[in-house]
Amino acid sequence: MHLSRSILSALLLIAFPAAHSPAGAEAAIGVAMDDFSYTDTSAEPANQTAAHERRLSAFMAALRRDIGADGRYRPVASAQDGAAFKVIGGIQKTSTLVQWAKVAVIDVGARKLVMDKLYTFRGDNDESWQRAEMFVSREVMAAFATPAPVALAVFEFELEDNTAAPAAGLVASDASYLAEVTASVREALGQSGRYRIVDVSGEATKARALRDCDGCEAAIAQKLGADQSLIGVVRRVSRTEYTLGFQVRDARTGAVLARGDSGLRLGADYSWKRGAVRLVSERLVETR
């Protein structure tokens, strides 16, 4: 489906229709909104272009009206006119009874997505479109109140082997368990909604021993467009004892924003993943 790509690349601005400004509108948050696109790929024989244009027009009018009726927000023509948020989207009809709506909300100042969701609704009549609009308007306004997620570069966890006779380089099993640790931490932080995980593949992965580079990971993260960086270390004390540590830095300044250490834990290498996810979640998600 090309819906997502076409929506997120649609950045042409349109003027809002005139709207009544409630008392205190000067302090309200500006919202710009493009008309949603519409695509019919249902292959139905009847030409429903006119009906779809009418329903889409009514959908957009209702969406603007609902958002503008909330005293916290005011419609503006574009980001240049003081919009704090920009709403874009599109609807695609895929069959007689199924339609998809892709909606994104952009924090203009931070230049970040605070919402990017794909919804499905059944039916292609006035009632089904009205129900869809009511749901979308609630979702969009909820997104306005949600802080933009922090762009976080989570680098591969490293192993510091303090056993009596560490192997030269990572053995295959160690590399596999470290990869599981990293993937699980990224997943947990991404699903929290507080963070947007930045891809660190490519040149960034060529750096080694980030734990010993005196904060060089922050500069790498900034180059990748991240707000913050995270590095983690598994320290093997014995075959059944280990500790976990991580550190988060501001990508721009290199300042340490958060760190955590698990203390001594009991468990074989397959338990690293569980311990790492718990430690990072406790320090970065559950305490905020």
Look at 94-98, 113-117, 132-136 and tell me which has the smallest mean pLDDT. Answer: 113-117
DSSP annotation of 42 reads S
Give the residue, 203 or 80, on which the prediction is more confident. Answer: 80
In whole angstroms, what is the distance from residue 74 CA to residue 123 CA?
Answer: 31
Q: What's the Cα-to-Cα distance from 160 to each of 90, 106, 128, 233, 243, rounded to whole Å?
A: 49, 41, 58, 7, 10
Where residue 113 falls among pLDDT bands split at 50, 70, 90? Answer: confident
SS3 content of the chain, % helix, strand, coil (to 5): 35, 30, 35
Record the tokens describing residue 185, joined without a space.
């931490």
Can you say how many angstroms the Cα of residue 263 is from the centroid of all Cα atoms in its chain?
31
Exposure class string for 29-61: b at 16+ Cβ within 10 A, else e: ebbbbbbbbbbbebeeeeeeeeebeebbeebbe
Where residue 108 falls among pLDDT bands split at 50, 70, 90? Answer: confident
pTM: 0.57
